[in-house]
Amino acid sequence: MSEIDNPITDDTHWADDIITDDTPEAHAEALKGFETQKDLNNAFLGGLDRNWREDFAGDDDKFKSQLERYNTPADLGKAFREQRSTISSGAFKQAPGPDATDEDVAAYREANGIPAEAGGYLENLPEGLVLGEEDKEIFSDFAGAMHEMNVDPTVMHKAVEWYNGFAEREQDALAEMDHTQHTETVDELRNEWGTDYRANINLVGSHIETQFGKESADALLNARGPDGRAIMNIPGVLQGFMTAARAINPVAQLAPKTDRTAVETLDEEIAGIEKVMRENRTEYNKDEKMQARYRELLQIRIDHEARKSA
């Protein structure tokens, strides 16, 4: 009768069936650490559920957040190998530290295509990139700061490109604002001055140039307020200059006729209205605009005479 294995006294392990002569000793010991194959399966499945990033990062939440970029440990390993390969190839060079010698800095700049002097950033700009004279002053200072940091020339060129686009957009926005505000100012003053609008505008222009001189007048005419609005697009400013111009030279508001001075034009217009008053009083009494104009002309004459005798 053959000997039958006694399951109660049998001291064989379930892992003996899968352990071979080629199985590493450490693996064999690990397998025998599980009492049953079911225990091994549970441990394996539990490992799948575990977040591998926690094993790598521990309590370092910042590092754990960085690991979120990778889907699997294999992806992380691949990224690590690529980085090591880049460093080993010499493509990545450590920037000079605060203790670097002038020779070290020069060698680093030469190896990385960084100009020896800050001005080199603004030379050989890519096609289409142009800096005006005023902009060159700004970027010369900016280039100096970038050169201290050994910034790659492509970064500098990108900054120039961005600035040019920004400046163009600002100019377009300013032109549109000027146009809108000029229209608003004209509408407001036409409504207030009526038919005298053109004469008053000419009076203001003549007054400014006479009082300030051409160069200063140009500066004033192109000046802007704190909010960017052109000074001459502010109705109150134009009204103020018009009032000052009339006070200084009351007859200047009258557009002289051909071969007539402003005073002669004033006297001639007053005489014409007074003729109507004498010859057709009824017409004058019905014409309120003529009456208002007559009063205005008389006031101009009074102001002019007072100005002469002052």
pLDDT in tens, the chain (310 residues): 444 444 445 567 777 777 777 777 877 777 677 778 777 666 665 555 557 677 777 788 887 788 788 887 777 778 777 766 765 665 556 677 778 888 888 888 888 888 999 889 888 788 878 888 888 888 889 899 999 888 899 888 998 889 888 988 999 999 999 999 999 999 999 999 888 888 888 888 888 888 898 889 999 999 999 999 999 999 999 999 988 887 777 666 565 545 556 677 778 888 999 898 888 989 989 999 888 888 888 887 877 777 666 6
Q: Is 230 helix (H, G, I), strand (E, B) or coil?
A: strand
pLDDT for the residue 169: 93
181, 230 in Cβ contact below 8 A?
A: yes
Q: What is the pTM of this model?
A: 0.50
pLDDT for the residue 1: 43
**φ and ψ at residue 115, rounded to 5 degrees:** -60, 150
Q: Which residues contact 218 (CB under 8 A, 6 or more apart)?
A: none
Name which of 129, 128, 194 is nearest 160 in CA terms. 129
What region does 115 belong to: left with phi over 0, alpha with psi -120 to 50, or beta?
Answer: beta
pLDDT for the residue 2: 45
From residue 209, give the alpha-carbon distance in Å to each of 27, 92, 202, 229, 261.
99, 64, 11, 21, 20
pLDDT for the residue 63: 79
CA distance 267 to 257: 12
pLDDT for the residue 261: 67
* Paired tokens of 213: 């001189």
From residue 220, give the alpha-carbon distance in Å to each of 136, 179, 225, 237, 294.
27, 18, 11, 11, 35
pLDDT for the residue 47: 57
